[in-house]
């Protein structure tokens, strides 16, 4: 596992305490897992994702990541409707390890866009990780 200083925490996304990231893209939000999360999990071998059209509340479990070490649940940083899933991850789940911020998992249309502002910025997320 890497030191925090070796990991990437872009300012262009927001973060959750559960290590998901969210990035606004027009009227939708893409969601993935942070560099810290993929580093802790190790080699990701499988991604379980919801179906397009599924509705979730903020904090709901929406899928899982399976690595050689463990299975980790994924939690929605904002409530909304799933409008896209990254099907490429079914064939190449390891791309999350290689590019955690380029390898989004799902895209939602949020029910309350203001929930985005409640998420942590990069500085606050890193502070949380340092404990």
pLDDT of 129 reads 98
> For domain 4-130, is the CATH number 3.40.50.720?
no
Residue pLDDT tens, the chain, 131 long: 999 999 999 999 999 999 999 999 999 999 999 999 999 999 999 999 999 999 999 999 999 999 999 999 999 999 999 999 999 999 999 999 999 999 999 999 999 999 999 999 999 999 999 99
Class of residue 123 by CB neighbours under 10 A (exposed 0-12, middle 13-18, buried 19+) = exposed
pLDDT of 89 reads 98
Please report, for the chain, the start and end positions of each structural domain, with discontinuous segments joined by +: 4-130
pLDDT of 79 reads 98
Q: Model's pTM, two decimal places?
A: 0.96
Class of residue 78 by CB neighbours under 10 A (exposed 0-12, middle 13-18, buried 19+) = buried
CA 15-21-27 angle, 5° bins: 110
């Amino acid at each position: 596992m890497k030191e925090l200083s070796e990991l990437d925490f872009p300012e262009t996304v927001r973060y959750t305490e559960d290590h998901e990231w969210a990035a606004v893209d027009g009227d939708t939000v893409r969601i993935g897992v942070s560099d810290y999360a993929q580093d802790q999990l190790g080699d990701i071998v499988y991604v379980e994702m919801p179906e397009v059209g599924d509705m979730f509340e903020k904090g709901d479990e929406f899928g899982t990541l399976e690595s050689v070490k463990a299975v980790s649940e994924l939690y929605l940083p904002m409530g909304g409707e799933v409008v896209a899933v990254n099907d490429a991850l079914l064939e190449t789940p390891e791309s999350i390890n290689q590019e955690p911020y380029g390898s989004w998992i799902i895209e939602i249309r949020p029910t309350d866009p203001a929930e985005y502002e409640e998420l942590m910025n990069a500085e606050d997320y890193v502070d949380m990780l340092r404990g």
